[in-house]
Amino acid sequence: MSVARSWRTRRQRYSLVGERCEYCQNAIFPPRDVCPHCAEPAQKEYTMSGRGTVYSYTTVYDPPAGFEAYAPYPVALVKLDEGPMVTAQLTDVGADDVRIGMPVEMVTRKLSEQGDEGIIQYSYKFRPRWEQQAVAA
């Protein structure tokens, strides 16, 4: 991701800032010019709750540049409680412990680093919802 694109999308990446359509009331993420549900143009800013469930997932063994240190890592299609579907890394969970339907919550984490001298990208990821997390005795 370029520094310029990273900067333009920072609010959606840091805290799931999307929109809610003023005509059909559907939540929209990521934000866009026209509502994907009813094609009306003007949208109202809306921050997602960050809660959702795993709709499907896969494990990345051969990651793109900048993500090597994390491999293997799970990537999921998360259905937000508000409706939109987002693709995101899962964190604080082993690849073997992910399952479909797992309740998850958004956290803001480091996504990638452009080498030692470049910018650090931060973004939403999802972790198992707190009450589901492993708590050792």
Partner 1 sequence: MSSNNGSALMKPLRDVGIVGYGAYVPRYRLPAREVARVWSGRDAELPIKEKAVAGLDEDTATMSIEAARNALARAGIDPKRIRAVWVGSESHPYAVKPTSTIVAEALDIVPLTQAADWEFACKAGTEAMQAAIAFVGSGMADYALSIGMDTAQGRPGDALEYTAAAGGAAILLGPAEESLARIEASLSYVTDTPDFWRRAHAHYPSHGQRFTGEPAYFHHVTSAAEMMLEGMQRDPADYRYVVLHQPNTKFPQRAAKQLGFRKEQFETGLLVPVIGNTYAGSSLIGLTAVLDEAQPGDRVLVVSFGSGAGSDAFSLEITDAIVDARRRALTTRDYIARRVEIDYATYARFRGKMLMK
Which residues would be at the binding site for partner 1 (CB under 8 A)? Answer: 10-11, 14-15, 17, 47, 69-70, 89, 91-92, 107-111, 120, 122, 125, 130, 133-136
Residues lying near Zn ion in the complex (CB under 5 A): 21, 23-24, 35, 37-38
Q: Compare residues 80 and 124 and give the one whose CB is closer to partner 1.
A: 124
Contact of residue 65 among partner 1, Zn ion, none (CB under 5-8 Å per partner type): none
Residues 6 or more apart in contact with residue 64 via CB below 8 angstroms: none
Residue 42 interface partner, choices Zn ion, partner 1, none, CB cut-off 5-8 Å depending on type: none
Strands (E), the chain: 17-21, 27-28, 43-47, 51-60, 73-80, 85-89, 103-113, 120-128
> Sign (positive/negative) of CA torsion 29, 108, 121, 62?
negative
Report the nearest approach of Zn ion to the CB of residue 38 (Å).
3
Closest CA to 56 of 74, 42, 82, 40: 74
Nearer to Zn ion, 24 or 85 (CB): 24
Q: Do 55 and 85 contact (CB within 8 A), yes or no?
A: yes
130 binds, among Zn ion, partner 1, none (CB under 5 to 8 A by kind): partner 1
Using the minimum distance from each CB to Zn ion, give the nearer residue, 42 or 69. Answer: 42
- For partner 1, the closer of residues 15 and 37 by Cβ is 15
Tokens 């109202």 — which residue? Answer: 44
Please give the backbone phi and psi of residue 13, each rounded to the nearest 5 degrees, phi first. Answer: -75, -40
